[in-house]
Structure 1
């Protein structure tokens, strides 16, 4: 029996843009508050030199709209006028229940067929949104999708008085990214995406405070991530395994050996993961760009931030095959995707 050949139109990445808040915070800011922390020496928490913090009152929607303005400044005020699908992901929704997608679409003057906030993708949300955008465009016969991602917890959660002295506080940074996807003949073809859910690990991601309380309850304890040595060991083991697994799966699908990739871009929780992942794919450091030392852990924004930076400084050029991979939370989700970069359109 002949193999089935897909006739679905190819999803293409037309362009992307990013935003870094003006407040550039050095590691010394956190060092002055450092307290005795049993996790201080853990490899998970080796601080980057800098990170950016959103301004007081600066919302996810604010940052995504600012990133989108880069696209309209670059391509013209009507560049987003034909967007039919808008998808967003916010690390920390400012308002309970609803996300920011409706506000983003309204502020950009869009009238989309579909709007959707996606919360479960975590650090792998950029790839998840690529896949969802392609599915929605094809299913609806739509023209163009806008995806927006915001990481806004660094300047809100990790600078709290009870949190800023902890080892975890200096790692995250804030920022935003947007990308335009189309089914037209212009743009960088998305060669493949793979998304994998591991629900058995979901409960290992926790928010805690002292004294203990539910995050919506009033109380003196300030919420932060619930890390322990045991949890960190599990996350390290899962991350070291999951990211190479999905990366190799996509590389196999597109027929490229990982050692021959032009660029490999991942989320960037810390330097140890970055080193282990490029070693697993047999890649030199120069083909695994990151923005960790300038931006810290950007969660879902890490991949598009680094991709945008690498294109801007010439490390990624037309024709390059770029493989992206990430895992989320304590390992309950992982995704990988590949594009052949064809410039900005």
Structure 2
């Protein structure tokens, strides 16, 4: 992309549904004998948010994007030519959420993509896609929408709710506004699809049904002690590798990072990542205890929180990084925050 037009992550916004949900929601009726309850992967956050029974992916996206409309003007946002959407749990798998989000917001994008892959690091992946489209076409504006609703839907099912895995996720939506030009240039991105780990994260049921088959068993994530150990080992390695690679591409060291924003799987990953990169906690904001693991929405939600709380300053080198699923994708992006302001 050397010599390509400047593309900026001009703004971010977030929406969290409902009131915070405490741990007592899960400890009541917790399943005895859950072999994973004491695993570091499932050390629960204090709070998380859950969608209401009638809230959809589109509802969350509409509320998050409304904040961007309030800041930049509805007409400007509605003139966006590119809409990229990742929904962790699609309400309607066959058609995705993108077209309905466009209709609800009054958008008429030339480019509309529902991104099914890249999971918890999909914000980085969609930022790369947006940068490529804006740098090589006449499009000048893009919206990135990351929506997560699995916590209040999948993980609150009566049987699944009693498992250790269910207290970790939280719901929310994070959105990014990307423009040709703008105050926060995207300096570099690195992404990697890792096919050997594809399929290692599975949805399972006690009776073996597939997700579209109607029976009484409830869907859950198919965690075992062996699979959790593998994910912990991969995740500990993949994110620092991606951030190291990004910094090398820029001719910098990880010590030059002012603010690191990652996905938010658990406290162990967050601690291990910043220690591997040599960063103090104050340069690695997190939202885990307030929001839980918000999956794909975690990077924009955490960045929005860090910006609004004053943890990100004009001119800061902000690095976004994460990995997806059981390790089948990893990526990192560097942004010079509000360099032009």
Compute the TM-score of the two structures, normalised by the length of structure 2.
Answer: 0.97
Conserved 8 A contact 1:124-1:325? yes
Aligned twin of 1:40: 37
CA contact (8 A) 1:35 1:166 kept: yes
Q: Which moved more, 1:28-37 or 1:38-47?
A: 28-37
**Matching of residue 200 in structure 1 with residue 185 in structure 2:** no
Find the counterpart in structure 1 of residue 266 from structure 2.
270
Q: Distance in 2 between matches of 1:260 and 1:16?
A: 23
Q: Which moved more, 1:94-103 or 1:326-335?
A: 94-103
Structure 1 position 344, deviation (Å): 10
Q: Distance in 1 between matches of 2:170 and 2:327?
A: 20
Question: What does 1:78-89 align with in structure 2 at a 5 Å threshold?
Answer: 78-89=75-86
Which residue number in structure 2 is paired with residue 258 of structure 1? 254
Q: Deviations over 1:223-261 (max 9, x none)?
A: 010000000010011001110000101111122211231
Q: Return the match for 2:8 from 12, 20, 43.
A: 12
1:245-324 correspondence runs (5 A)? 245-324=241-320
Offset at 1:137? 1.8
- CA-CA distance at 1:343 after TM superposition: 7.4
> Does 2:215 match 1:209?
no
In 1, Cα distance between the equivalents of 2:31 and 2:12? 40
CA contact (8 A) 1:15 1:187 kept: no
5+ long unaligned stretches in structure 1: none
CA distance in 1, matches of 2:286, 2:339: 20
Q: Which moved more, 1:203-212 or 1:285-294?
A: 203-212
Q: Which 4+ stretches in 1 moved above 4 angstroms?
A: none
2:198 maps to 1:238:
no
TM-score calculated relative to the size of structure 1: 0.96
- Determine if contact 2:255/2:279 at 8 Å carries over to the other structure: yes
Which structure 2 residues correspond to residues 150-165 of structure 1 after superposition, within 5 A?
Answer: 150-165=147-162
How far did residue 279 of structure 1 move? 0.4
**Matches for 1:330-341 after TM superposition, within 5 Å:** 330-341=326-337
- Gaps in structure 2 of 5+ consecutive residues: none
Q: CA RMSD in A?
A: 1.3
C-alpha separation in 1, matches of 2:339 and 2:80? 20
| 1:334 match: secondary structure | strand
Instruction: Say which SS state the counterpart of residue 83 (structure 1) adopts.
Output: coil
Count of paired positions: 340
Q: Helix, strand or coil: the match of 2:153?
A: coil
Structure-2 residue corresponding to 1:109: 106
Contact 1:23/1:54 (<8 A) preserved: no
